[in-house]
Structure 1
Amino acid sequence: MTTRPAAPAASSAAPTGPAAPVPLSGRFDDDARRLAEQAAAAERILAALPPVPGRSRDERTRAATAHAEARAVRRDFLARHTDTVYGLLTDGLTRRPRLPDLVDAAADRVPGLVPTRAQMAAELRFVQAEKEGREIDQGRFCGAVLRSPTAGRHLVETMLGPTPRALELLDRFRAEGRVELDAVHVERRGTVAHVEFRNPGRLNAENARLVADLDTAVDLVLLDDTVRVGVLRGGTTDHPAHRGRRVFSAGIDLTDLRDGRIPLVGFLLARELGYVNKLLHGLLTDPAPGAGSERYVTKPWIGAVDTFAIGGGMQLLLTLDHVVAEEGAYVSLPAAEEGIVPGAGNLRLTRQTGARLARQVVLGGRRIAATDPEAAAVYDEVVPADRMDEAVERAAAALAAPAVAANRRMLALAEEPLDHFRTYLAEFAFAQADRAYAPDVLDKVERRWQERERRRAARGSRT
Structure 2
Amino acid sequence: MSEDAVLVNVEDGVMVVTINRPKAKNSVNLAVAKGIAAAMDQLDSDDSIRAAILTGADNTFCAGMDLKAFVTGELPMIKGRGFAGLVEKLPQKPLIGAVEGFALAGGCELALSCDVLVVGDNVKFGIPEVKRGLAAAAGGLMRLPKQIPPRIAMEMALTGDFISAQRAYELGLINRIVPAGSALEGALEMAKTIAANGPMAVLASKRVVVESGNWSEEEMWKNQAAIVDPVFSSEDAIEGSKAFAEKRAPNWKGK
- Asked if 1:410 is matched to 2:208, the reply is yes
TM-score, structure 1 as length reference: 0.43
Structure 2 residue aligned with 1:32: none
Q: Summarize deviations over 1:10-58 as a string: whole Å, max 9, x none.
A: xxxxxxxxxxxxxxxxxxxxxxxxxxxxxxxxxxxxxxxxxxxxxxxxx
Structure 1 residue aligned with 2:82: 271
When you count helix as a share of all residues, which structure comes out higher? 1
Larger Rg: 1
Structure 1 residue aligned with 2:21: 199
Map 1:179-218 onto structure 2 (within 5 A).
181-218=3-40
Code of the residue aligned with 1:356 in structure 2: it is R
TM-score, structure 2 as length reference: 0.75
Query: Equivalents in 1 of 2:60, 2:78: separation in Å?
Result: 21
Change in 2 beyond 3 A, CA 1:377/1:228: same
Code of the residue aligned with 2:194 in structure 1: it is L
The count of corresponding residues between Structure 1 and Structure 2 is: 211
Question: Secondary structure of 1:195's match?
Answer: strand
**1:269 deviation in Å?**
7.4
When you count strand as a share of all residues, which structure comes out higher? 2
Query: Equivalents in 2 of 1:396, 1:354: separation in Å?
Result: 27
Structure 1 unpaired stretches of 5+: 1-164, 166-179, 237-245, 283-297, 418-463
Query: Equivalents in 2 of 1:377, 1:272: separation in Å?
Result: 24
2:54–2:97 contact (8 Å) kept in structure 1: yes
Query: Equivalents in 1 of 2:62, 2:114: separation in Å?
Result: 15
2:126–2:161 contact (8 Å) kept in structure 1: yes
**1:348 deviation in Å?**
0.9
Question: Secondary structure of 1:196's match?
Answer: strand
Query: Equivalents in 2 of 1:234, 1:324: separation in Å?
Result: 13
Query: Equivalents in 1 of 2:83, 2:212: separation in Å?
Result: 19
Structure 2 residue aligned with 1:380: 175
Question: Secondary structure of 1:372's match?
Answer: helix
Identical counterparts, % of pairs: 30
Structure 2 residue aligned with 1:309: 103
2:169–2:175 contact (8 Å) kept in structure 1: no
**1:404 deviation in Å?**
2.0
- Asked if 1:370 is matched to 2:196, the reply is no
Structure 1 residue aligned with 2:116: 322
Change in 2 beyond 3 A, CA 1:327/1:320: same
Structure 1 residue aligned with 2:69: 256
CA RMSD of aligned residues (A): 2.4
**1:250 deviation in Å?**
0.6
2:34–2:84 contact (8 Å) kept in structure 1: no
1:309–1:332 contact (8 Å) kept in structure 2: yes
Query: Equivalents in 2 of 1:315, 1:410: separation in Å?
Result: 22
Query: Equivalents in 1 of 2:128, 2:79: separation in Å?
Result: 16
Change in 2 beyond 3 A, CA 1:209/1:375: farther
Code of the residue aligned with 1:299 in structure 2: it is K
Code of the residue aligned with 2:96 in structure 1: it is I
Query: Equivalents in 2 of 1:260, 1:315: separation in Å?
Result: 21
Structure 1 residue aligned with 2:60: 247
Change in 2 beyond 3 A, CA 1:181/1:218: farther
Code of the residue aligned with 2:158 in structure 1: it is L
2:105–2:128 contact (8 Å) kept in structure 1: yes
Query: Equivalents in 1 of 2:159, 2:115: separation in Å?
Result: 26
